[in-house]
Structure 1
Amino acid sequence: MIFSTPLIKGRLIKRYKRFLADVELDGGEMITAHVANPGSMMGLKDDGLTVWLSLSDNPKRKLPYSWELVEVDGALVGINTAHPNGIVAEAIEGGQIEALAGYEALTREVKYGTNSRIDILLSGGGKPDCYVEVKNVTLKRDDSLAEFPDSVTARGAKHLKELVSMVEQGHRAVMFYLIQRTDCTKFRIAADIDPVYAAAFREAIAAGVEIICYDCHITTSEIRPGSIIPVIP
């Protein structure tokens, strides 16, 4: 994914009400940016951190600025949860995700299960339909170890159970964790933060749901998947 316009550098003043952040731009102007991230953003919202914003030219937007990246200990982190589905879809279509290659069609946001929508549905090519759920990973508490989730997510546990249901119906199901950080080499589930999600994760694996985890190459110009990252217990 390439940012459509150059990002604007600033300094984080505070994040509040989940979806708002006050930022001081490099020129000294104070603005309020939209934060497209419902999680806790643990470790990514400290006052004074360097951030990068995109600026929309849509006159109907109440908040034209969106928070895209933050720099933490020299690493860039993508915090916008609106991007991962598109990043993964582009990579699949470009043949960059070997485990998900060989399908004829890719469709996004397809209704399935119980009042759910799958992020990506792969079909054709003589293969069973493949249901791919994408999760954005930004949490790091230990050296080089990415974790998910960063807060309790009943919705995330539901998605795992929906994927299990697809496997039981004879389809292929994949949970794809995209680490939007440049400083992690391994991944695990943050069971201490959400033990219910951790239990659902274990049950999903036992039922045949596949786990794929990639890190990202991140610059102030683009974000794209990097390498496969091992999942540890």
Structure 2
Amino acid sequence: MTQNASSPSSTSQKVLNIQTDVEGTLIERPNRFLAIVEIDVNGTKSQEKVHVHDPGRLIDILYPGNRVLLRKASNPKRKTSWDMIAGRSGNNWILINSAFHRQLSEWVIENNIIDLLSNADTVLPEQKFGESRLDYLLMKGDTDIWIEVKGCTLAERKTASFPDAPTTRGKRHLDELIKARSEGHEAAILILIFRPEAECFTANGIIDPDFAQAFEKALEAGVNVFPLLFSFENNTVIYHSQLPFCKNVLYKK
């Protein structure tokens, strides 16, 4: 099995500023894209509808009573007046808005954070391969590199894991990357990890054994996996380092 993750020293580079407008308390999450949050603006409390731009369960972050950070929606006609940006976990704010994954992954590629992806001739977003549309096709000379990006917000006992909800789409993306390798292309997965306490990364076979098994097959096929650690501090996303793989895939409780 090829393990492509290593553990270099932290670089701590500021990546992206994300404005937040108010801190609130989660009341409930009626569905995966909607939350009800109580906010206090100038001494006036109100319960607001908030858009959750993350399809994951987020059960250790979005639970009643937890603190969250919101940004006012730019479109005043939208049904939800606010966007969920981050949620509290211990002493950390965790970025839980996947709308920023494109900007963060572009920063990784453009700033040559990963040797395999550095100094590309061409970077094409949202390219079709097989039955899927993958996040990037990167071209370096005669080499094509197919890239998929995943965001990781789940961590337990300093172990970051993905997914936090079953994902047939995620497994299909892995299958496509395996196919790309079989056709002679390079392939890579960027795992954007937003749990700064994490020390290693693993696929979560407790939540989704099919994804975890496909993840193992992808490694065996030579798909490169890069678990990248970020934090969200003072409205700024900060890149820290590449994490190693944990010793075991989470298959059992």
Common fold by TM > 0.5 = yes
Aligned structure 1 segments of 4 or more residues deviating by more than 6 angstroms: none
In the alignment, structure 1 residue 140 sits paired with structure 2 residue 155: yes
**Alignment-derived partner of residue 52 in structure 1:** 69
Q: 2:231 aligns with which of 217, 220, 225?
A: 217
- Give the Å deviation of 1:159: 0.5
Amino acid at match of 1:89: E
Checking the alignment, whether the CA contact within 8 Å between 1:128 and 1:170 is kept in structure 2 is no
Aligned-residue offset at 1:62: 2.1
Match of 2:56 among 33, 39, 57: 39
Q: Which residue of 2 aligns with 1:30?
A: 47
Structure 2: stretches of 5+ with no match in the other structure:
1-15, 249-253
Moved more, 20-29 or 67-76: 20-29
RMSD in angstroms over aligned alpha carbons? 1.5
Deviation at residue 32 of structure 1 after TM alignment: 0.8
Structure 2 matches for 1:63-74, cutoff 5 A?
63-74=80-91
Following superposition, the deviation at residue 22 of structure 1 comes to 0.7
Q: CA deviation at 1:99?
A: 3.6
Matched-pair contact (CA < 8 Å) for 2:154–2:161 = yes
Equivalent residues of 2:94, 2:231 under 8 A apart: no
Q: Tell me if 1:185 matches 2:199.
A: yes
Are 1:121 and 2:137 counterparts?
yes
Which structure 1 residue ranges, 5 or more long, are not aligned?
Answer: none
Q: Secondary structure of the residue that 1:26 maps to in structure 2?
A: strand
TM-superposed CA distance for 1:225, in Å, is 2.9
Instruction: Flag the 1:69–1:204 CA change in 2: closer, same or farther, 3 A.
Output: same
Written as runs of structure 1 = structure 2, the 5 A alignment for 1:76-225 is: 76-114=93-131, 116-124=132-140, 126-141=141-156, 143-225=157-239
Distance 1:12-1:191 versus aligned 2 partners, 3 A rule: same
| Deviation, structure 1 residue 127 | 4.6
1:3-31 Cα distance to aligned partner (Å, 9 max, x none) = 2x443211111112111111111332221
The alpha-carbon distance between structure 1 residues 49 and 204, as it changes in their structure 2 partners (threshold 3 A), is same
1:175 touches 1:212 (CA, 8 Å); kept in 2? Answer: yes
What TM-score do you get using the length of structure 1 for normalisation?
0.92
SS at match of 2:98: coil
Larger RCO of the pair (alpha carbons < 8 Å, separation 6+): 2
Assess if the C-alpha contact under 8 Å between 2:20 and 2:85 holds in 1. Answer: no
1: CA distance, partners of 2:36 / 2:53? 14
* Contact residue 23 and residue 32 of structure 1 kept, 8 A: yes
8 Å Cα contact 1:7/1:52 also seen in 2 = yes
Please report the TM-score for the alignment, with normalisation by the length of structure 2: 0.85
